[in-house]
């Protein structure tokens, strides 16, 4: 009991979940092709670590690429739109349509157009990840109080300096909120891209495991995907901590998923 109490809560919860999983499989004699016991999944993770690691690296690279494109393009586009109200009026309705459109439905078309290489995966990953960044960056860049901007204008600073020293820093907390969503989306995009046509990556492996009813491998792949998602999320959060110590300290004890 004392040992249990000294462990961090999330770890205890995870252990409890695995225990419950094992108990359920045994108690209800669930066949392994439906839900394999945790031990079997763990074995697959160990035995096939080379194969899993290779495909995970492929998916991770695609997701990172899509995410990086989304981050850069999203913030740039938001800056341009906030800069020019007339352009924003023209572009916003179009963006709204694209925003509500399920981007992953474009995946087959993208594969037809661009083939089976890495490019289409990056593109799909980018497409799903860019909107959270774009929208949060627009909101963030607009969130600066009018008085603050007036104060900056009154110093007769050039517009680019006002953008760089006032607008962008004020927008960063919002932008990081969007980046945290985007980084998870980028993995979704990469996996969907692999589903549509690929010969490598966790998405490809997932389909293979599915076709072969290799449920233990399926679970192992899901574990990898979960790990990749978490790692990316925490990487963005660490970057936020570095970039915005003032904001993180102000926010105090937030929920880890609070954006």
Binding interface with other proteins (CB under 8 A):
145, 147-148, 150-157, 161-162, 165-166, 169, 244, 246-247, 249-250
Closer by beta carbon to other proteins, 142 or else 247:
247
CB of 147 to other proteins, least distance (A): 4
Q: How far is CA 132 from CA 27, 75, 95, 166, 186, in A?
A: 43, 10, 12, 22, 11
Closer by beta carbon to other proteins, 22 or else 161:
161
CB of 253 to other proteins, least distance (A): 15
CB of 114 to other proteins, least distance (A): 42
Closer by beta carbon to other proteins, 145 or else 199:
145
Find, among 136, 133, 140, the residue nearest to 167 by Cα.
140
Residue that is written with structure tokens 């109080």 in the block: 145
Tokens for 128?
């799903």
CB of 139 to other proteins, least distance (A): 17
CB of 143 to other proteins, least distance (A): 12
Contacts of 214 (CB under 8 A, 6+ apart): 208
How far apart (Å, rounded) are the C-alpha atoms in residues 71 and 143?
19
Closer by beta carbon to other proteins, 63 or else 171:
171
Closer by beta carbon to other proteins, 147 or else 254:
147
């Amino acid at each position: 009991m004392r040992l249990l109490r000294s462990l961090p809560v999330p770890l205890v919860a995870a252990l409890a979940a695995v225990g419950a999983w094992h108990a359920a499989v045994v108690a209800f004699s669930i066949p392994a092709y439906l839900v394999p016991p945790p031990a079997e999944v763990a074995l697959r993770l160990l035995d096939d670590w080379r194969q899993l690691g290779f495909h995970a690296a492929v998916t991770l690279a695609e997701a990172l690429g899509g995410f990086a494109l989304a981050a850069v393009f999203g913030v740039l586009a938001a800056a341009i739109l906030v800069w020019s109200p007339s352009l924003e009026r023209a572009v916003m309705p179009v963006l709204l349509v694209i925003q509500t459109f399920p981007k992953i439905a474009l995946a087959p078309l993208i594969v037809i157009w661009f083939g089976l290489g890495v490019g289409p995966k990056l593109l799909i990953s980018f497409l799903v990840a860019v909107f959270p960044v774009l929208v949060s960056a627009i909101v963030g860049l607009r969130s600066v109080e009018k008085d603050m901007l007036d104060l900056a204008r009154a110093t007769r600073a050039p517009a680019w300096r006002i953008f760089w020293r006032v607008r962008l820093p004020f927008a960063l907390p919002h932008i990081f909120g969007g980046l945290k969503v985007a980084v998870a989306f980028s993995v979704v995009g990469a996996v969907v891209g692999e589903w549509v046509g690929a010969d490598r990556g966790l998405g490809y492996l997932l389909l293979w495991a599915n076709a072969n009813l290799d449920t233990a491998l399926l679970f192992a792949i899901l574990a990898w995907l979960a790990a990749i998602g978490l790692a990316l999320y925490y990487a963005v959060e660490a970057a936020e901590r570095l970039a915005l110590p003032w904001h993180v300290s102000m926010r105090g004890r937030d929920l880890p998923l609070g954006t």
